[in-house]
Structures are given as structure tokens and as C-alpha cells.
Amino acid sequence: MEIYKENKLKVYNSLSKQKEDFKTITDGYVGMYVCGPTVYSNAHLGNVRTFMFFDVVYRYLLHLGYKVRYVRNITDAGHLENDADEGEDRIAKKARLEQIEPMEVVQRYTVDFHDVLKNYNFLPPSIEPTATGHIVEQIEMIKEIIEKGFAYEVNGSVYFDVLEYNKKEHYGILSGRKVEDLIHNTRSLDGQSDKKNPQDFALWKKADERHIMRWPSPWSDGFPGWHLECSVMSTKYLGEQFDIHGGGMDLKFPHHECEIAQSKTCSGKTPVNYWMHTNMLLLNSQKMAKSTGNFILPNEILSGKNNILPKAFSASVVRFFNMQANYRSILDFSGEALEASEKGHAKLMEAVNFLEKIEAGKTSTFDVQKWKKDCYAAMNDDFNTPMLIAHLFEAVKVINQIKEQKASLTADDLAELKTTIKALVFDVLGLMNENSQDNSEKIKGVVELLIKLRKEARENKDWALSDQIRDELIALGIQLKDGKEGTTFSVN
């Protein structure tokens, strides 16, 4: 169903710094590009927060009936150790330190990245291109930028001329920075002597003798600059102009700023209509980052093998925790916060499961249609998941009141509530009904305990208690079967 026509979605645009009505370039179609991982190490939970939010964006757009092409790249070359176009390629450095091939590094951490996202119930993107798979296209874009007079070659490397670009365009339009301030604040760095201006950035770097990953080009054997790949791949798969570009706020400058400059130079058009950026995830009140060692890996949360959390937590609880904060706000991660989320998640799933047992009444004591509108209004307000969750718990309260026979719903309202709550909880938020799995294990444990107590009763010739346990289990749909190997059970 194309319910997007009934829902006026507003998106906070980092470019305009305000919420705007969401209007797609082509009616019914959305082109979305999200900057993916640099696969030189495991993705930590702070990285995953960004991808998790855009997974919800993707899910909601699909739910509204849009046809979405979601492109999320894999950076497997060209990302240097810092943003000053110096140091080693992060992947090549890892390969050198471990004495393996760079593509072994890429394969290892790409597989890990996909495993994490699978564990956390992510939908796969429509296309997941790699930087190394688009070297030819990157070389062609560099040629075009040179031809238009916005890049220059020095000693085999090619740099984008920021000052030349800034004569007609605004370099800093996304981040709000001014070139004059960049000039003033740029410190002198070794290896930048080839640049006309310190703030110029590399489109192509000549590889020195230690650089393992290199490709032939008209300028030198080298490798593309990190910023270039996203301009190339977003243009190739989404066109010169597309709807949404997302990433973490740390990419706003210089990465996304450089993307705009490169793309606009080639097409003459503003490449993206809506820029969206997620905020930081904190751990111990500090930014989660590999460089400082202040991080936790997503799979360490599931296994409980870490020095930060009191126990293991499920993937669905972690998703629920993330969705309780607005994506543009800072989120503080802790064991206490996860335990609180676990309790809330359990209440939500318990209510969802009980929905199946509810019988329709003659009247409705809850306005399901208004509640449904409120839920969609929350998501239509820049994907406001905390507000959506608040509305979901309004429904949880009503479900619990029905359980206590203090409320009722007509058949139509009950059907509407079931359909809506399941769509929002599972299809949109991507939560998983792990309670049903957990309960099956708990039920098994309880039944086995009762079988043990029945066995002891029979040994003590307490036939009344033995029969009572058997009969009450049968009433609950649990059939006991006594045999030579002991007593087994089945659930009808």
C-alpha cells in the first residue's frame, strides 16, 4: 500500500538545519546513500548506532510504500589514518602489521560487519558497493574535475582546489565552516608541501614504496582519496541528484563537505536533497571510539564477555535501547540503561504476545484510530522513535487493562490494534519477539521441575499429588508420557 501519500513526513536536514517536508525527486521512489564502514577492524556499537537508525529509516520508508534503493558502501581502500591526507591506508597498515594480504583484512572485517548486522536484525541494503570495485569510475571523475579547473596534479598526486571552488560555491555549506577560518586554523603538516593550500584535499595519492594497495592511473601508481568513492558510487547508483544521504555527525566535515564539492563540480547540481546525521554514543560519559579504546563490540553485548556490562543482553533489547533516544541526541550507554531497556522490552513483548489471547468485546474503551494516528505522527516527525515507543506503551497499558477485564475492544478495533502494533514493533523498529523464545525455555524448565516433583510424589506413594500435577498440566495443554527412559512431555 502506498500509505506515504497519507503521511506527511518531515525530515531534519543538516544542510538547512531545520525540519523540512519530505518530497522525493521521483514520486514513490527514494534514493538513499549511507556511508558504510572502513573494514580494517570490528565495528563497535557507536558505529552500529548509525547503521541501526538508517535501518529504521529504510524500514519505515518501505512500510509507507516507497520503492527504496538503499546504497551503503564498503570502504576497502583509500582511508588514511587522518584527514590531512597523510599516514598509511588503514587497511594496508593492518595488513602490514599482521603480515597478511590487505584483502584478507577486508574479507575478515566485512564478514564480521555482516554477521553483526544479521544478529541485530538489519535489512540488507539494495546495493553494497566497494571502493576497490570502482577505481575506474573514480579515475574518470578525477579527470572531469581537472578538466573543469578545480583540481591540479603535483608529483603524481591530484588535489581538489578548495579556494578555486569557493570562488563560486560555498565550501563549508554543510558544516557551516568558512574557508577563511579553515586557512587560519590549519596547522602546517609534513607531506602537505605539494598542496597549493593546506585545506585542499586529495583526489588521488601517489603510492610510496611502503603502500601495498595501488592502481595505475594517468598520474601515477597510487590510490584514490577517501572522499571520492562516495561521490562516485552515489552518482553511479542513485544519479546526479538523490533524496537522502546519511552518516554519523563526525563525517559531516570534511568527508561530506568534500563529497558535495566533488559532485557539484561534475554535475553542476546540488547532489543531495536531505542530509541526515546521527549523534554520538557515549561510554563512561566519553565518545565511543577505537582510537581511545573506549568502546564495546556488539557481539560482546550478546555474549556477555566484556568488562563493562553485568550480564549478556539480547540484540532486540539493544535495538530498543537505541530507539529510546532521538537519533540527533547524544546517547549514554551503560549496564543500568540496558537493564532498564530490558524491562521495558519485556513488558512490550508480553503485551504483544497477549494480544493473540484477547477476545473482542461489544464496545471499545480505547480510541484505536487516534492512537494509530499518534504513532504515525511520531514517525512522520523526523523518525521520532522515542515518541513512537511512548505511544506503544499507551497500547501496552490498554492491553493490560483488558487482561484485568477493565477495558475492552470491538472486533474491528482489536484487529486494527494487532495489525498496527505488530507492523510498528517488528517491521519498522525491527525488534524481535525473543520473549516467546525465552518463555519456551522457561516453560521447559518449569515442566521438568514439575516432572521431578511428580516423580518424588510417586516414590512417596502420594498419588493424589502425582495425579494433580499430571491433570493440571493436561489442562494447560501439556501432555506427560511415562516410559522406561523416564517421563517426557509434549505441548498441544
| CATH at 422 | 1.10.730.10
Q: End-to-end CA distance of the chain: give it in Å, rounded.
A: 37
Does pLDDT of 468 surpass 70?
yes
Provide the pLDDT confidence category of residue 367 given band limits of 50, 70 and 90.
very high
Same domain flag for 50 and 195: yes
Last residue within a domain, chosen from 247, 278, 309: 278
The mean pLDDT of 305-315, rounded to a whole number, is 95
What is the pLDDT at residue 435?
54
Give 188 or 178, the one with higher predicted confidence: 178
Same domain flag for 55 and 191: yes
Same domain flag for 214 and 317: no
Say which residues have a Cβ less than 8 Å from residue 42's Cβ, sequence separation at least 6: 109, 112, 113, 116, 297
Same domain flag for 142 and 238: yes
Domain assignment of residue 460, given as a range: 435-491
Torsion over CA: 92, 98, 101, 106 (sign): negative
The mean pLDDT of 435-462, rounded to a whole number, is 75
Does pLDDT of 190 surpass 50?
no
Q: What is the pLDDT of residues 39-48, one digit of tens each?
A: 999 999 999 9
For the chain, what percent of residues have pLDDT higher than 90? 76
| CATH at 174 | 3.40.50.620
Same domain flag for 11 and 118: yes
> Strand, helix or coil at 158?
strand
Query: What average pLDDT does the structure give for the chain?
Result: 92
Q: What is the pLDDT of residues 78-119, one digit of tens each?
A: 787 666 577 778 898 888 889 999 999 999 999 999 999 999
Same domain flag for 403 and 466: no
What is the pLDDT at residue 208?
87
Same domain flag for 167 and 247: yes
Of the listed ranges 30-39, 111-120, 244-253, 453-462, the one predicted with least confidence: 453-462
10 Å CB burial of residue 404 (0-12, 13-18, 19+) is: exposed
What is the pLDDT at residue 188?
43
The model's pTM is: 0.87
Same domain flag for 423 and 440: no
For the chain, what percent of residues have pLDDT higher than 70? 94
Closest among 94, 72, 68 to 81, alpha carbons compared: 94
Q: What is the pLDDT of residues 379-431, one digit of tens each?
A: 999 999 999 999 999 999 999 999 999 999 999 999 999 999 999 999 999 99
Same domain flag for 264 and 146: yes
- What's the longest Cα–Cα distance across the chain? 97
What phi and psi, each to the nearest 5 degrees, are found at residue 61? -60, -40
What is the pLDDT at residue 189?
42
The mean pLDDT of 442-464, rounded to a whole number, is 83
Last residue within a domain, chosen from 392, 417, 432: 432
What is the pLDDT at residue 458?
85
The mean pLDDT of 464-489, rounded to a whole number, is 80
Last residue within a domain, chosen from 261, 278, 295: 278
Q: How many domains does the chain have?
A: 3
Same domain flag for 426 and 439: no
Q: What is the pLDDT of residues 214-259, one digit of tens each?
A: 999 999 999 999 999 999 999 999 999 999 999 999 999 999 999 9
What is the pLDDT at residue 183?
64
Closest among 34, 61, 190 to 127, alpha carbons compared: 34
DSSP per position, 352-401: HHHHTTPPP-SS-SS-HHHHHHHHHHHHHBTS-HHHHHHHHHHHHHHHHH
Same domain flag for 55 and 133: yes
Same domain flag for 427 and 439: no
| Residue corresponding to grid cell 556511508 | 35
Provide the pLDDT confidence category of residue 181 given band limits of 50, 70 and 90.
confident
